[in-house]
Structure 1
Amino acid sequence: MSGPEDTTESKDPEEKPAPVPLLTLRDGLPGVIERTPDLEAVAEQFAAGSGPVAIDAERASGYRYSSRAYLIQLRREGAGTALVDPTAFDDLAPLAEALDGVEWILHAATQDLACLAEVGLRPSSLFDTELAGRLLGYPRVGLATLVETALGHHLRKEHSAADWSKRPLPESWLEYAALDVEPLGELREAMATELVESGKDEWARQEFEHLLDFTPTQRAEPWRRTSQVHKIRNRRALAAVRALWGARDRIAAERDITPGRILPDSAIIAAATAMPSSRRALLGLKDFNGRGASRHATAWLEAIQEARDLDEADLPRRAARHDGPPPPRAWADKDPRAGRRLAHSKQAMADLSEALHVPVENLVTPDSLRRVLWTPPATRDPEPLLSDAAGMLSDLGARPWQVELVAPVVRDATLAGDQEPDVPEAD
């Protein structure tokens, strides 16, 4: 008598996984809102919807100087999807009023909050799917990857670097933009469940609340981020880099064109190195090129002359001023105890990151941790040391959940740093 039939399918080792279905628009592609009556109608529609609102914005990074939004996409249960052209309106007050008190769902919120605030849209609460992915330990947290991993759909990303200031916007771009908010509601629910199951929902709540006050960092000396500026060691040449960067920035702001499209960083470095005094010499430099190289030659020469005329005392320092601790590589030489504190904390933070499946930089900002470790509390009594370390981290902006996890690391690293290393006895 034969046994029960084996219904297990054999696995072909070369069998390809089933294709991931492409995400499509459930309600079709809506028209772009460009008129006040249509904006008011959409506002009423979204005010009558239910649950959180998915929101995204498209900028023209790489094409425009400003970081303004050129298209805003929204989706809410019961309201569908809307595509709004913010450049067509003086403000989006009707939409802001409709969304008052509604939770926003964004992906990588810090990329969009500033440009949305610029048109009067500010959340009272939010859920960031990228940040949730980080807290949950996803190795890749791009929207397309999360949608595929958590929801099983493939998301197109072919127009992410497009010039969204273009008018009219092609239909394929609009479809791509609408698809970016299509899965956010479902993704939020899936990730919120995971956060609860992993015991990280309170961490996420604190992180999302912290984002409500987010403002982009303003650098004190942004010209020092010019590519290859580290090759310039002469202070007068550095002054030329600063002056050329400033001239380029003014022109870019006036014309609303991204600075690199007017004059690339390589051209600034070439001009600052050679310090030419004539148009012919300037334009004859091998690496001095770009759309505005010749057109704005007078401005470039004036910038170079400005640097040439500076008094020695007004020349920039070779290195940027820091209000914090020195670079980590210098700690061991400048302060051996601090070096030992840093080394101990690196291993402890790596272990904590692995155990919790959270990236080190999300456990606490590296700058905050280094500031506390460089100048730790004076006490070495473990309990007061832990309390003082917690207070310092909190003052630097760490959230309560981060303080609870990282303050013990600071305490232990501080105590370990005071221990002299064992020196092997000579034979």
Structure 2
Amino acid sequence: MDSAGGFTPFQDRLSSSLVQVTRTVGQLSSEDLNFYRTSSAELSESLDEQSERILSLTSAVLKAAVAGTDLSAPTLHNEESVEDNWRGVVDVIDALLEKADACLDEFTGVIKKLSPSQEERAPAKKPPQKFPTIYDYGPSKIPKPQVLFDHKPDNSDLGPFRPLLKTKPHAIVPLEESLQTREVDGKTGYPSPYEAEIRAAKYPESVYKVSPPIDYLPFESTTATFVDTLEGAKEMLGELKKAKEIAIDVEHHDVHSYHGLTSLMQISTRDKDWVVDTLQPWREELQMLNEVFADPHILKVLHGSTMDIIWLQRDLGLYLVGLFDTFHAVSALGWPKRSLKVLLQKLVNFEADKRYQMADWRVRPLPDGMFDYARSDTHYLLYIYDLLRNELVETSTKAANHIDYVLERSKTEALQRYERPVYDAANGLGPGGWYDLLSRNPGVLPKEQFAVFKAVHQWRDEVARAEDEGFQCVFPKHMLFRLAQTMPLDMGTLLRTLSPVTPITKERAHDLLEVIQKAKTEGATGPEWRDVAPAPKPLAKAVAPVLQPESTDFPAAERYKTSQFWGNVLEAYESPAPPTYSLVAAAEALRLSLPLPPMPSTVSQTREKLGTTTKPPPSTIPAPTHEEPKIFTVKELGGPRKRKAAPTETTEQAPSTPDELLLETGNEPESTEKRRKKSHKDKKSKKSAQTDSQPENDDIPFDYGAAESVFNAAPAQAPSRRQKKHFNPYAKAMDAPSAARKQNREIQGKSHTFRE
């Protein structure tokens, strides 16, 4: 492309096309394509055609990407070839990214492009490599530094870890007594050699006083010293002895090493920084730094020292006496975020380049960016300590002394001991065991899959120990579950399941296949994962007890054959057995599950409980009288006649059949208006009679036994406008259109009255 102006529209079109393709592929992958293939032959042919087209385009792009390089582009014939050649595809993408980095460096001026004549004379150079990261789980591109150590790590040693100390500066207890095994945390091991010194250490008086913070030196105008020789380490030790406070930090690598490697150590004073290479063959000679690290008069400032303490004593034999952990300081002050990055941003206004946070710290020579990142962790730490110390002292009270809290927690951190991880094949316990992986996985593994999972997990640990590599370099943990679910019994299925296969696993594929076959055979009669899974947490005491039979003699570890919730309901049986638990136990369980106050069962018991002897009010039901002669009128069929309006309110039940409409009580037929007035008058008289019959004492309980039935009660009158209407939440539900009423037609004709 000739100009940069024409690249932007092309980039926009390309990006929009890729986004549209990605969305379409995502939508297709979420559908059941196999079902649609069987339902339509045309769709199946179209999908195959598009798949072949995409594979051919991908192969063409890969070939174009490797033009002019030493890489060979993989050829993709089908979907399986994509998985088999995935490592080759990744290599091509890495090469493209490296070219992009080189072009960007050239564009920004970091790398100056030579003139054509100079390019001819200049030797061919490879493009600059990206700094390695811990995500590089494949074969290590960096030679293993542990191979050159004077004391190489022994991963087969499963005994207690013996401290590396050869001398013990600032000792209260001699070294010989400190290296005696004893019972520690329920196990036989070596205690911390500086346990007595750490507990008896007294911090300097400056820790308990407020003083103006000492400003740090400008980061840009000062440089740090890289210590990679024994002579340089001795010179550094001489300057550290003059300091009153020092800041320490450690960079660690645990991908291409079974136990891990302390790769770098940063040390800073008020006016100077050092970056120490701890991967040198003589690295155990750095124990000379205990003359400063174990000196209680020199304050050691770290942030989040939990793992730093372990790594220093495991690899270098270094121990800290007089530790001040700034993490516990911000915890005592109640800061919501407590990382070192937050402290640098808030207190120093320094933004650390976190690209190097996950870098591979074994790379040598150390790039400038990684060097500056490592140095920044301790360059500002003493100034941050001054600010936090002043705030701790100012906010401390007699009830809550923040300084004492931080110092006590710091001593606890310094007393940590390193212990070798021992693999527990039977129970899977420990930081690298299979029990922790399965307990966090929601799936349930049957017998054979559970046996394969344990066997493959143990095989991976043995290979990692032998090769001095991390677990993920053999294969990651998600491959463990895939192997356990698939249980491959042939080499082709095994390699497809592990695709992409790491070189370490590929060399031992036959051994892994034998392990899987043997574990599957033995697992047919073994336990399931649910048999050893962690038991569910018990319910709280406030929860009501479950209704159970009276005799429950089931052992705690035995699996129930029937559901504890449904019982035998789901099983087919002829005659269900009566429950064996007693009604008393059932009633008691129900009472505990529903904590209601005791209620009387009848109205008379309520009256007795209240201590009232009031007689129930007289019944409002009229007494039966002698039957009077009935008068009725019979109508004769005749011509049509205009129908009268039906009465709106009646005191008696309205007739509901055509035959009852022909009968009218009384001597003479009454008009609708007369019947309405009479009904209203009867209602008033009945209401006044009920009011007179009520007792004056309002405290008398209501007699439900003598009350009039509500089933035959007259409908309630609509409230007047002056009366306050109660809110009815179902009023709008009654606004629905009603069905057509059945009309009662009067039969035309004459009528005649008879007396019985």
Do both proteins adopt the same fold according to a TM-score greater than 0.5, normalized to the shorter chain? yes
Among 201, 220, 223, which residue is 1:28 paired with? 223
Whole-angstrom CA distance in 1 between matches of 2:506 and 2:409: 48
For 1:16-165, what aligned pairs fall within 5 Å after superposition? 24=219, 27-31=222-226, 33-48=227-242, 50-77=243-270, 80-88=272-280, 89-91=282-284, 92-101=286-295, 102-118=298-314, 119-165=316-362
Q: Which amino acid aligns with 1:331?
A: P
Which residue does 2:722 correspond to in 1? none
Distance 1:25 1:55, change over 3 A: farther
Q: Distance in 2 between matches of 1:310 and 1:297?
A: 20
Q: Report if aligned partners of 1:264, 1:289 keep a CA contact under 8 Å in 2.
A: no
Question: What is the root-mean-square deviation in Å for CA atoms of aligned residues?
Answer: 3.1
SS in 2 for 1:172: helix
1:191-235 residue CA offsets vs partner (Å, 9 max, x unmatched): 122222232222212211111122468653722333774424213
- Call closer, same or farther: CA 1:313–1:129 in 2, change over 3 Å: farther
User: 1:81–1:178: 8 Å Cα contact kept in structure 2?
Assistant: yes
Matched, 1:331 2:543: no
SS at 2:224's partner residue?
Answer: coil
Give SS of 1:140's match. coil
How far, CA to CA, are the matches of 2:232 and 2:543 in structure 1? 61
* Aligned equivalents of 1:241, 1:137: Cα separation in 2: 44
Deviation digits for residues 27-65 of structure 1 (CA, Å, limit 9, x no counterpart): 31322x2211111111112112x2222111111244543
SS at match of 1:105: strand
1:26-425 maps to which residues of 2 (within 5 A)? Answer: 27-31=222-226, 33-48=227-242, 50-77=243-270, 80-88=272-280, 89-91=282-284, 92-101=286-295, 102-118=298-314, 119-199=316-396, 200-215=402-417, 219-220=429-430, 222-226=433-437, 229-285=441-497, 288-291=499-502, 292-310=504-522, 315=527, 317-318=529-530, 330-332=537-539, 336=541, 423-425=595-597
- Amino acid paired to 1:336: K
Change (3 A) 1:141 1:421: farther
Tell me if structure 1 keeps the 8 A contact 2:268–2:378.
yes
Partners in 2 of 1:85 and 1:66 — Cα distance?
18
SS at match of 2:246: strand
Q: Summarize the Cα distance change of 1:209–1:179 in structure 2 as closer, same or farther, 3 Å threshold.
A: same
* Structure that is richer in helix per residue: 1
Q: Give the 3 Å change call, closer, same or farther, for CA 62–90 of structure 1 in structure 2.
A: closer
- Give the letter for the 1:139 counterpart: P
**TM-score scaled by length of structure 2:** 0.38
CA distance in structure 2 between the aligned counterparts of 1:422 and 1:186, rounded to whole angstroms: 62
Cα 1:216–1:318, aligned 2, differ >3 Å: closer, same or farther?
A: farther
- Give unpaired runs (5+ residues) of structure 2: 1-216, 397-401, 422-428, 545-591, 600-756
The answer to whether the 8 A contact 2:452-2:523 is kept is no
Structure with the greater relative contact order (CA < 8 A, sep ≥ 6): 1 or 2? 1
* Counterparts of 1:338 and 1:97, CA distance in 2: 60
CA distance in 2, matches of 1:425, 1:111: 58
The one-letter amino acid paired with 1:72 is M
Counterpart residue type for residue 306 of structure 2: T
Do the aligned residues in 1 keep the contact of 2:247 with 2:268 (CA within 8 Å)? Answer: yes
CA distance in 2, matches of 1:318, 1:163: 40
Letter in 1 for 2:278: P
Aligned residues: 316
132 and 189 in structure 1: CA distance in 2 versus 1, 3 angstrom threshold: same
- Counterpart Cα distance in 2 of 1:69 and 1:338: 51
Q: 1:164 to 1:258 in 2, by over 3 A?
A: same
The Cα offsets for residues 329-367 of structure 1, whole Å up to 9 and x where unpaired, read as x321xx62599xxxxxxxxxxxxxxxxxxxxxxxxxxxx
- Say if 2:449 and 2:523, in contact at 8 Å, map to a contact too: no
- Contact kept, 8 Å, 1:283 with 1:293, in 2: the verdict is no
**1:249, distance to aligned residue in structure 2 (A):** 2.1
Question: Partners in 1 of 2:597 and 2:501 — Cα distance?
Answer: 63
Q: Which protein has the larger Cα radius of gyration, Structure 1 or Structure 2? A: 2
Q: Aligned-pair distance for 1:422?
A: 8.0
Are the equivalent residues in 2 in contact too, given 1:71–1:164 (CA < 8 A)? yes
Contact 1:73/1:82 (CA < 8 Å) preserved in 2?
yes
Give the Cα separation in 1 of the matches to 2:501 and 2:598: 64
**C-alpha separation in 1, matches of 2:492 and 2:441:** 24
Structure 1-normalised TM-score?
0.66
| Structure 1 counterpart SS, 2:318 | coil
**Offset, 1:109:** 0.6
- Write the distance in 2 (CA, Å) between the matches of 1:161 and 1:424: 61
**Distance (Å, rounded) in 2 between the aligned partners of 1:94 and 1:305:** 53
C-alpha distance in 1, partners of 2:446/2:499? 19
Cα distance in 2 for residues equivalent to 1:111 and 1:23? 29
C-alpha distance in 1, partners of 2:521/2:508?
Answer: 20
Match of 1:393 in 2: none
Asked whether the 8 Å contact 1:23–1:179 carries over to 2, the reply is: no
Checking the alignment, whether the CA contact within 8 Å between 1:264 and 1:290 is kept in structure 2 is no
CA contact (8 A) 2:293 2:321 kept: no
CA distance in 2, matches of 1:61, 1:95: 24
Structure 1: 5+ residue stretches without partners: 1-21, 340-419
- d(CA) in 2 for partners of 1:319 and 1:195? 51
C-alpha contact (below 8 Å) 2:446/2:528 kept by paired residues: no
